[in-house]
């Protein structure tokens, strides 16, 4: 079995669903259930004994070490993180606590567990740390995409905290021999995405008749990766990646934010047309945020050349799947935007809290 941290968040939940769609190997899913953790994303697994959910913090050494001893996972896949740049600007402390201190505590818990394994189990064990392309900083329009050898130049509290966690993971491998792998991904999108990020926010606001806010001139460039492709990349790296190595995961889909918003509007115009006009009429430009990186682009050649991975989705096919999912799951969206999804957490854990 494997232990997944942050498996009720956007990418983590998609990974758990993807893993159990491809395998009967059980998953222990550890998530703190902060505002972005949503158990409704995992409802389809309610009857699956292969999915064991535990509410808890990666920084809780007693809990994590107990789970490791009890379940004896062959791998840990570490998604748990604070991940929203805007939130990191207004409240950086949570990002340092979760992404840096939390990852440190998780590494120490895993090291204790791994050190006690029998030699054959220890040799087979893996810890995969999921990170971001934002650790590399910003690119100019004509710069080559980020490779794994690009210097770290984080520009936000979020990216700085993730850069720190990457360095910790690397150090625990080189100092203690912990068998780690790191992936740095580009911007993910797809189902179950909390509507504070660009794509789900635009979809939700468009359907609600609200303005579609775009920072600055909207010409910031991102490489867009469909979350299902990211999940397949993680499975590939976990199975065949070289220990201690970093693998960049990208979608080969560079788009400006403005192009992304216009593409969403065009798809909605066809799939759910307004009474009059286009959804693009709702586009609204707002003041740029501090430290807004101009361009990210990932060179995923190492992952492709070494391990044979390529994304299946283009941006056009991925965004169509994403929008259609949101149109077909209005209850999930309503529960998230209203905060009703938090009721489950209160009902499930209120008694324990007392």
Q: How far apart are CA 22 and CA 43, in angstroms?
A: 17
Q: How confident is the model at residue 49 (pLDDT cuts 50, 70, 90)?
A: very high
Domain boundaries of the chain, sorted by first residue: 2-353
CATH level 3 topology of 2-353? Rossmann fold (3.40.50)
Q: What pLDDT score was predicted for residue 344? A: 55
Q: How confident is the model over 183-187, as a mean pLDDT? A: 97
303 with 230: CB under 8 angstroms?
no
Give the Å distances, CA to CA, from 2 to 20, 120, 269, 291. 11, 17, 42, 37
pTM of the model: 0.94
pLDDT digits (tens, 9 = 90+) for 80-115: 999 888 889 999 999 999 999 999 999 999 999 999
Please identify every residue annotated as catalytic: 133-134, 158
Mean pLDDT for the chain overall: 94
Backbone angles phi, psi at 38, to 5 degrees: -135, 110
Closest by CA to 78, choosing from 68, 88, 91, 66, is 68
Q: How confident is the model over 312-317, as a mean pLDDT? A: 96
Q: How confident is the model over 10-22, as a mean pLDDT? A: 97
127 with 112: CB under 8 angstroms?
no
Closest by CA to 51, choosing from 69, 27, 35, is 27
Q: How confident is the model over 138-145, as a mean pLDDT? A: 94
pLDDT digits (tens, 9 = 90+) for 220-265: 999 999 999 999 999 999 999 999 999 999 999 999 999 999 999 9
Q: What pLDDT score was predicted for residue 289? A: 83
Is 223 in a helix, a strand, or coil?
strand
Instruction: Count the neighbouring beta carbons within 10 Å of the beta carbon of residue 113.
Output: 21
């Amino acid at each position: 079995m494997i232990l997944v941290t942050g498996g009720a968040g956007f990418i983590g939940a998609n990974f758990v669903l993807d893993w159990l769609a491809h395998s009967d190997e059980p998953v222990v899913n550890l998530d703190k259930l902060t505002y972005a953790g949503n158990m409704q994303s995992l409802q389809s697994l309610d009857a699956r004994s292969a999915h064991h959910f535990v509410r808890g913090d990666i920084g809780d050494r007693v809990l994590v070490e107990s789970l490791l001893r009890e379940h004896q996972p062959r791998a840990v896949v570490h998604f748990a993180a604070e991940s929203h740049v805007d939130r990191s600007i207004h409240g950086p402390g949570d990002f340092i606590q979760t992404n840096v201190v939390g990852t440190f505590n998780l590494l120490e818990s895993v090291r204790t567990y791994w050190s006690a394994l029998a030699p054959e189990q220890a040799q087979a064990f893996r810890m995969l740390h999921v990170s971001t392309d934002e650790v590399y900083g910003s690119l100019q329009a004509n710069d080559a995409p980020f490779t794994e050898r690009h210097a770290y130049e984080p520009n936000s509290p979020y990216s700085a905290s993730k850069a720190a966690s990457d360095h910790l993971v690397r150090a625990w491998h080189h100092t203690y021999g912990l068998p780690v792998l790191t992936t740095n991904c580009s911007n993910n999108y797809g189902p179950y995405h909390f509507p504070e990020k660009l794509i789900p926010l635009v979809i939700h606001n468009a359907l609600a008749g609200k303005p579609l806010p775009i920072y600055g001139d909207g010409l910031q460039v991102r490489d867009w990766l469909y979350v299902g492709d990211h999940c397949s990349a993680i499975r590939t790296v976990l199975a065949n990646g070289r220990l201690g190595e970093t693998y960049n995961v990208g979608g080969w889909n560079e788009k400006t934010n403005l192009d992304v918003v216009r593409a969403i509007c065009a798809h909605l115009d066809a799939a759910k047309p307004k009474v009059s006009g286009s959804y693009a009429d709702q586009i609204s430009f707002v003041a740029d945020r501090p430290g807004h990186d101009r361009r990210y682009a990932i060179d995923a050649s190492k992952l492709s050349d070494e391990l044979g991975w390529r994304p299946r989705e283009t941006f056009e096919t991925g965004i169509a799947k994403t929008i259609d999912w949101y149109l077909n799951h209005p209850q999930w969206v309503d529960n998230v935007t209203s905060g009703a999804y938090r009721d489950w957490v209160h009902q499930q854990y209120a008694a324990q809290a007392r």
